[in-house]
Protein backbone atom coordinates (compact mmCIF):
# COMPACT_ATOMS: atom_id res chain seq x y z
CA UNK A 1 0.00 0.00 0.00
CA UNK A 2 1.46 3.35 -0.96
CA UNK A 3 1.76 6.18 1.51
CA UNK A 4 -0.99 8.84 1.48
CA UNK A 5 -0.01 12.14 -0.16
CA UNK A 6 -0.44 15.31 1.89
CA UNK A 7 -1.45 18.71 0.60
CA UNK A 8 0.73 21.47 1.99
CA UNK A 9 -2.26 23.73 2.65
CA UNK A 10 -4.90 23.68 5.29
CA UNK A 11 -8.35 24.35 3.86
CA UNK A 12 -11.59 25.53 5.43
CA UNK A 13 -14.17 22.82 4.81
CA UNK A 14 -17.95 22.79 5.36
CA UNK A 15 -18.58 20.41 8.26
CA UNK A 16 -21.78 19.05 6.71
CA UNK A 17 -19.75 17.89 3.66
CA UNK A 18 -17.61 15.53 5.80
CA UNK A 19 -18.42 11.83 6.21
CA UNK A 20 -17.19 10.34 9.49
CA UNK A 21 -15.66 7.06 8.29
CA UNK A 22 -14.97 5.48 11.67
CA UNK A 23 -17.50 7.02 14.10
CA UNK A 24 -17.26 6.40 17.82
CA UNK A 25 -19.11 7.41 20.93
CA UNK A 26 -17.36 10.05 22.97
CA UNK A 27 -17.00 10.52 26.71
CA UNK A 28 -19.12 13.61 27.37
CA UNK A 29 -16.68 15.10 29.89
CA UNK A 30 -13.83 14.84 27.38
CA UNK A 31 -16.08 16.31 24.68
CA UNK A 32 -17.01 19.22 26.96
CA UNK A 33 -13.32 19.84 27.74
CA UNK A 34 -12.47 19.89 24.02
CA UNK A 35 -15.29 22.35 23.29
CA UNK A 36 -14.29 24.66 26.16
CA UNK A 37 -10.64 24.54 25.10
CA UNK A 38 -11.50 25.39 21.47
CA UNK A 39 -13.67 28.29 22.67
CA UNK A 40 -10.90 29.66 24.90
CA UNK A 41 -7.76 28.90 22.91
CA UNK A 42 -8.87 28.06 19.38
CA UNK A 43 -8.20 24.94 17.34
CA UNK A 44 -4.66 23.75 17.98
CA UNK A 45 -4.59 21.08 15.29
CA UNK A 46 -6.70 20.82 12.13
CA UNK A 47 -8.72 17.72 11.36
CA UNK A 48 -7.44 15.36 8.66
CA UNK A 49 -9.65 14.38 5.71
CA UNK A 50 -9.36 12.73 2.32
CA UNK A 51 -11.53 13.25 -0.76
CA UNK A 52 -14.67 11.11 -0.36
CA UNK A 53 -14.20 7.60 -1.68
CA UNK A 54 -16.85 5.98 0.51
CA UNK A 55 -19.65 6.85 -1.89
CA UNK A 56 -21.79 8.64 0.70
CA UNK A 57 -24.12 11.07 -1.10
CA UNK A 58 -23.59 14.81 -0.54
CA UNK A 59 -20.20 14.31 1.13
CA UNK A 60 -16.98 15.67 -0.35
CA UNK A 61 -14.56 14.34 2.27
CA UNK A 62 -14.06 11.29 4.49
CA UNK A 63 -12.78 12.08 7.98
CA UNK A 64 -9.53 10.41 8.98
CA UNK A 65 -9.10 12.00 12.39
CA UNK A 66 -10.73 14.79 14.36
CA UNK A 67 -14.30 13.66 15.12
CA UNK A 68 -14.14 15.27 18.58
CA UNK A 69 -12.93 18.54 17.09
CA UNK A 70 -15.74 18.50 14.51
CA UNK A 71 -18.35 17.85 17.20
CA UNK A 72 -16.90 20.61 19.38
CA UNK A 73 -16.93 23.06 16.44
CA UNK A 74 -20.55 22.20 15.72
CA UNK A 75 -21.46 22.65 19.41
CA UNK A 76 -19.89 26.11 19.20
CA UNK A 77 -22.11 26.98 16.22
CA UNK A 78 -19.40 26.73 13.55
CA UNK A 79 -20.19 25.44 10.06
CA UNK A 80 -16.61 25.25 8.73
CA UNK A 81 -13.45 23.72 10.17
CA UNK A 82 -9.76 23.88 9.19
CA UNK A 83 -8.66 20.60 7.60
CA UNK A 84 -5.50 19.05 6.28
CA UNK A 85 -6.43 17.21 3.08
CA UNK A 86 -4.51 14.03 2.26
CA UNK A 87 -4.93 11.77 -0.74
CA UNK A 88 -5.65 8.38 0.80
CA UNK A 89 -7.64 5.35 -0.26
CA UNK A 90 -10.62 4.35 1.91
CA UNK A 91 -8.48 1.52 3.32
CA UNK A 92 -5.58 3.87 4.14
CA UNK A 93 -7.99 6.35 5.75
CA UNK A 94 -9.52 3.63 7.93
CA UNK A 95 -6.09 2.44 9.06
CA UNK A 96 -4.91 6.00 9.76
CA UNK A 97 -8.07 6.60 11.79
CA UNK A 98 -7.55 3.43 13.80
CA UNK A 99 -3.89 4.23 14.48
CA UNK A 100 -4.88 7.76 15.59
CA UNK A 101 -7.42 6.29 18.03
CA UNK A 102 -4.91 3.76 19.36
CA UNK A 103 -2.30 6.47 19.85
CA UNK A 104 -4.41 8.08 22.57
CA UNK A 105 -3.20 7.30 26.05
CA UNK A 106 -6.64 6.10 27.18
CA UNK A 107 -8.66 4.68 24.36
CA UNK A 108 -11.82 2.77 25.15
CA UNK A 109 -11.74 -0.99 24.75
CA UNK A 110 -14.73 -0.86 22.41
CA UNK A 111 -12.85 1.54 20.10
CA UNK A 112 -9.94 -0.89 19.94
CA UNK A 113 -12.22 -3.84 19.23
CA UNK A 114 -14.18 -1.90 16.62
CA UNK A 115 -10.95 -0.93 14.86
CA UNK A 116 -9.60 -4.47 14.85
CA UNK A 117 -12.93 -5.76 13.57
CA UNK A 118 -12.85 -3.19 10.76
CA UNK A 119 -9.36 -4.32 9.75
CA UNK A 120 -10.50 -7.96 9.83
CA UNK A 121 -13.35 -7.08 7.47
CA UNK A 122 -10.77 -5.49 5.16
CA UNK A 123 -9.11 -8.94 4.99
CA UNK A 124 -6.14 -8.42 7.31
CA UNK A 125 -4.95 -11.30 9.48
CA UNK A 126 -3.80 -10.92 13.09
CA UNK A 127 -0.12 -10.49 12.16
CA UNK A 128 -0.91 -7.71 9.68
CA UNK A 129 -3.24 -6.02 12.17
CA UNK A 130 -0.52 -6.17 14.84
CA UNK A 131 1.99 -4.60 12.44
CA UNK A 132 -0.38 -1.81 11.41
CA UNK A 133 -1.46 -0.97 14.97
CA UNK A 134 1.75 -1.54 16.89
CA UNK A 135 0.06 -4.15 19.09
CA UNK A 136 1.50 -7.59 19.79
CA UNK A 137 0.30 -10.51 17.65
CA UNK A 138 -0.73 -12.48 20.76
CA UNK A 139 -2.70 -9.49 22.05
CA UNK A 140 -4.51 -9.04 18.71
CA UNK A 141 -5.30 -12.76 18.58
CA UNK A 142 -6.65 -12.57 22.14
CA UNK A 143 -8.92 -9.67 21.21
CA UNK A 144 -10.12 -11.51 18.13
CA UNK A 145 -10.87 -14.49 20.37
CA UNK A 146 -12.99 -12.26 22.67
CA UNK A 147 -14.94 -10.95 19.69
CA UNK A 148 -15.47 -14.40 18.17
CA UNK A 149 -16.73 -15.82 21.48
CA UNK A 150 -19.10 -12.90 21.99
CA UNK A 151 -17.73 -12.20 25.47
CA UNK A 152 -20.10 -9.33 26.19
CA UNK A 153 -19.87 -9.50 29.98
CA UNK A 154 -16.05 -9.43 29.87
CA UNK A 155 -16.12 -6.52 27.47
CA UNK A 156 -18.63 -4.75 29.74
CA UNK A 157 -16.29 -5.29 32.72
CA UNK A 158 -13.43 -3.78 30.73
CA UNK A 159 -15.60 -0.81 29.72
CA UNK A 160 -16.63 -0.26 33.36
CA UNK A 161 -12.97 -0.19 34.39
CA UNK A 162 -13.34 -3.34 36.48
CA UNK A 163 -10.52 -5.16 34.69
CA UNK A 164 -7.87 -4.54 32.05
CA UNK A 165 -8.51 -5.95 28.60
CA UNK A 166 -5.49 -8.27 28.95
CA UNK A 167 -7.17 -10.00 31.92
CA UNK A 168 -10.45 -10.29 30.01
CA UNK A 169 -8.59 -12.06 27.21
CA UNK A 170 -7.05 -14.50 29.71
CA UNK A 171 -10.42 -15.18 31.38
CA UNK A 172 -12.10 -15.83 28.03
CA UNK A 173 -9.61 -18.59 27.31
CA UNK A 174 -10.63 -20.55 30.46
CA UNK A 175 -13.61 -22.84 31.09
CA UNK A 176 -17.01 -21.20 31.76
CA UNK A 177 -17.05 -21.88 35.54
CA UNK A 178 -13.55 -20.46 35.94
CA UNK A 179 -14.61 -17.40 33.92
CA UNK A 180 -17.44 -16.62 36.35
CA UNK A 181 -15.19 -17.10 39.37
CA UNK A 182 -12.39 -14.95 37.97
CA UNK A 183 -14.69 -12.20 36.81
Which of 108, 122, 112 is CA-nearest to residue 159?
108
DSSP state of 105: T
Q: What is the pLDDT of residues 125-175, one digit of tens each?
A: 989 888 877 778 887 887 787 778 777 777 667 666 677 777 887 787 777
Q: Using DSSP, state whether 18 is helix, strand or coil.
A: strand
pLDDT per residue as tens digits for the range 107-125: 566 667 777 888 888 888 9
Helix (H, G, I), strand (E, B) or coil at 87: strand
pTM of this structure: 0.59
* Model pLDDT, residue 94: 77
Long-range contacts of 8-14 (CB under 8 A, 24+ apart): 9/85, 10/46, 10/82, 10/83, 10/84, 11/82, 11/83, 11/85, 12/80, 12/81, 12/82, 12/83, 13/49, 13/60, 13/61, 13/80, 13/81, 13/82, 13/83, 13/85, 14/60, 14/79, 14/80
Amino acid sequence: MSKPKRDSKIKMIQIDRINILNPRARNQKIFHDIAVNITQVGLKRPITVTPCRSGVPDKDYDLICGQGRIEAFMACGQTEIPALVVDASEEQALIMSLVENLARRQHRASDLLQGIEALQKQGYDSKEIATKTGLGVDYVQGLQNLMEKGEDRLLAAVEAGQMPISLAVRIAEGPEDEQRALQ
